[in-house]
Amino acid sequence: MTETRPKPTPRPAPESLPYWKAAHEHRLSLPRCDDCERFWFPPSRSCPHCLSANFAFQDVSGRGKIFSFVTFHRVYNPAFEGDVPYVVALVELEEGPRLLTNIFGIPHEEVRCEMPVEVVFDDVDAQTSVPKFRPVA
């Protein structure tokens, strides 16, 4: 009999708290610069494009495409043993930024680069929801 271990949950840095709060509300929200009007990810204290500290979090569409991916067939953490094989992908959002995430809702053999995807939220526990992506229906 295998012991089931809880999966690790995110430990947000102060600059990413708005991102995780929005995810808990099932919204995908990213920092957007007030000066150059570009989005970025991961959240930071200033815009990586123009270095401005003037920004606010803004909801994005949650739609994008798979830029790159890898399928994990090996168990690196016992908490993920029941998930193997699973896909970790870099998803390029319509708004530009790329997010490292999981792809589900499709056999791992069918995942392809450029595949259109949309965000869904995995409610890990009462405080944490993790954005993941599935193919667009």
What are 29's strand-pairing partners?
A: 59
Report the percent of the chain where pLDDT is more than 90: 88
Q: What is the pLDDT of residues 43-74, one digit of tens each?
A: 999 999 999 999 999 999 999 999 999 999 99
Output the CA–CA distances (angstroms, integers) from residue 129 to 22, 46, 50, 60, in the order listed. Answer: 9, 25, 31, 17
Closest to 54 measured CA to CA, from 22, 31, 27: 31
Q: What is the mean pLDDT of the chain?
A: 94
Q: Where are the domains of the chain?
A: 15-135
C-beta separation of 67 from 88 below 8 A: no
